[in-house]
Structure 1
Amino acid sequence: MQILFIVNKAAGNGKGKKVWSQLRKQLTIDYEVAFTKYEGHGRELAKQWARQRQDQKLLIVVGGDGTIHEVFSGVVHNKFLVLGVVRAGSGNDFARSFPTFYNAQQIEDYVLNASTAYTKIDAGSIQLSNRWDELFVNNAGIGFDAYVTKSINTSRLKFYLNKIGLGKLSYAFAVIRGLFSFECFNVTIRSDHQEWQFQRAWFVAMCNQPYFGGGMKISPAAKADDGRVDITIVHDISRLKLLLIFATVFFEKHTKFKEITFLQGQHFDIIVNDHQVDCHMDGNYSGSVHQGSTIHCTVQQNAWNIMTKSS
């Protein structure tokens, strides 16, 4: 079996480098390793390696949700490839829903004893005119969550919190700061013959699994193997009440509020009715959606083979 590690040393503000350094000292099996050097490089490396011999391969990502997004997007619907993850990011939302490797011994045990053990999971997909045709592993979103993501990416706060092991709190801090500057928007959502209108929307989250933002269980019913995408819309709510609701998301208590709507289906059209709003994919800021634009959101079933641990 061919084994490739794709490592993002910069993940978690250097956590990726530390995790890989520990792993390579303990590994005794044969493997290849490639290091990401710039945004999008993980996808290129994965695609290139997957094109080699058509036999069983194990590709292990050492990084955070952004690196996982890149690598997985490069090898979608590859039946010869099993994907694994060693978490080394800040939020690590992927690891909250899917099995991951914690150490070299687990990896070697898997290769020697359970190298064919995997499960198939879906991919979320969004497309905006001719600009985007992108897959997501965890979630995508427009509005406040993407606005916060953009803020995090341009702030030094995440760097300093990661230095003291509190990187996941960077999202919470950015949320509080963004509450006072974000401008709400109106949005229309359509699916088959149904239509919903939402006024003063804060965000529309499209989810393939429950978690985002470093452990917030925003879409508790979302499953990555059910052939459906879950949409969570927060709308018509004051800034103060939204702040209070955010504290409940970790415990799934937010589902009781009338200002939060949950939709579930195989495909949705999301139309931004007024000013442009920010967008993110798996926690990576990916630009803005302009007024009048339609986002087509759907699901690709059985997109990836994810490793499962033997009992």
Structure 2
Amino acid sequence: MTERVHIICHRESGGGKGKKVLFEAQRILTGFNVDYLTYYTDYATHAYSLTQSIVMRGHKPYTHKLLVIGGDGTLHEVVNALHQSNLNIPLTYIPAGTGNDFNRAWQNNKSIREIIETMIYARTAVKIPIFTYEESVTQSSGVILNSMGFGFDAETNYAASRLPFGNFLKKLGLGSLTYFFAIFTTLNKIKSFDVELLVDNKPIQIQNCNLLSIMNNPFFGGGIRLDNLCEPDKAEISILAVHDITAKGVIDLLPRILVTQTQHESPYTSRYTGQNIQIRLNKSIRGQVDGEDLTSIEADLTLGLSEFYFYL
């Protein structure tokens, strides 16, 4: 039986939605007579250090549960902290962000009560595939829950986080629209770069690439199905490349991605899947991982498969 729940909450996620979700979660836990402790994130990477602190100070397997409230970025930090510490502590996640792509892929928009009931009563957690990465230029490493991208998707993600009316849309519950606006404000910033891939020891060259996304589920930016062929429960790394983009290419691709879901039929896209993948970019390009900005670098990445446990 669950004796205590440790809650890591990003209160300002989703334009303040995190506060409301936290209040409801606490009310439900009180109704179940379950004790809880709440930890608030105050800055980027705080969820990472909070997770380490909770585990070190006496998290008890089976009777203590770890609950994350926030956006995909907050969840990413918690999983990253546990994975890098080689700790298989199952997580429960209640979405309160702008994108909530993990929720779309795995939780079927369950209610807060349904998510908490699963956490309290489930006998076993669900094992899901995640990716790991090692970047040799910056000597960094981590996990990928939803996606990692370079080029246009990262520029869109960056622009969405800086739209002057973004917080207003979030407070109205229309946060996902920020990504649609950002797409159109970023069209004049499309850059080209060359990519060297090694997919399960098979070399692949991509020239004039504009977007390179490593996908663990179909979604990007709050429900945009960027890779409609990606299956979240399939243990494989999906790579989607958009290349040779012109004005004609934009006209071809946007309705395919946003409406008809036929982007895989476009001459401007290429898709690859594998178990072990190496990626090298020929110039410094903006990147993102699970919606969080990465330093613009000539990335040299090694990707692999791993797994993590959730109460779903």
Q: CA deviation at 1:7?
A: 0.7
TM-score for both structures, normalised by structure 2: 0.89
- Partner-residue secondary structure (3-state), 1:44: helix
Instruction: Determine the structure 1 residue equivalent to 2:265.
Output: 256
Q: Which residue, out of 22, 44, 66, partners 1:39? A: 44
1:186 match: secondary structure = strand
Aligned mates of 1:221, 1:18 — CA distance in 2: 35
* Change beyond 3 A, Cα 1:240–1:156: farther
Is contact 1:179–1:243 with CA below 8 Å preserved after alignment?
Answer: no
SS at match of 2:188: coil
- Residue 306 of structure 1 aligns with an amino acid whose one-letter code is F
Deviations 1:129-151 (A, max 9, x none): 15221211101011111112222
Give me the CA root mean square deviation. Answer: 2.0
Normalization by structure 1: what TM-score? 0.89
Partners of 1:239 and 1:264 in 2: CA distance: 28
Name the CA distance, whole Å, in 1 between partners of 2:106 and 2:59.
27
CA 1:17–1:244 in 2, change beyond 3 Å: closer, same or farther?
farther
Amino acid at match of 2:276: H
SS at match of 2:189: coil
Deviations 1:9-60 (A, max 9, x none): 0101111112212332343221111111110011111122123245223211
Pick closer, same or farther for the CA change 1:200–1:157 going to 2, 3 Å: farther
Q: Which amino acid aligns with 1:24?
A: Q
- Give the counterpart letter for 1:294 in structure 2: D
Q: Is the 8 A contact 2:166 2:178 kept in 1?
A: yes
Unpaired runs of 5+ residues, structure 1, are none
CA contact (8 A) 1:191 1:267 kept: yes
Deviating more after overlay: 241-250 vs 174-183: 241-250
Given that residues 124 and 207 in structure 1 are in contact (C-alpha distance below 8 angstroms), is that contact kept between their aligned partners in structure 2?
A: no
Q: Which amino acid aligns with 1:117?
A: T
**Partner Cα distance (2:14, 2:201) in 1:** 44
- Distance verdict in 2 for CA 1:240–1:92, change over 3 Å: farther
- TM-superposed CA distance for 1:196, in Å, is 1.7
Matched pairs, number: 300
Residue equivalent to 2:304: 298
Measured in 1, the distance between the counterparts of 2:48 and 2:201 equals: 37
Residue in structure 2 matching 1:70, options 77, 81, 85? 77
Q: Secondary structure at the match of 1:183?
A: coil
Give 1:112 shift.
4.6
Structure 2 residue runs without a partner (length 5+):
none
Aligned to 2:35: 30
Q: In the TM superposition, what is the alpha-carbon distance from 1:256 to its structure 2 partner?
A: 1.1
2:269 maps to a residue whose letter is: I
Secondary structure in structure 2 of the residue aligned to 1:66: helix
Higher relative helix content: 2
Percent of matched pairs sharing the same residue: 26
Q: In structure 2, do the counterparts of structure 1 residues 192 and 4 end up closer, same or farther at CA, with 3 Å as the change threshold?
A: same
**Residues 267, 298 of structure 1: 8 Å contact kept:** yes
> Which residue is equivalent to 1:139?
147
Q: Secondary structure at the match of 1:75?
A: helix
- Pairing of 1:144-155 with structure 2 (within 5 A): 144-155=152-163
Which residue of the partner structure matches residue 7 of structure 2?
A: 5
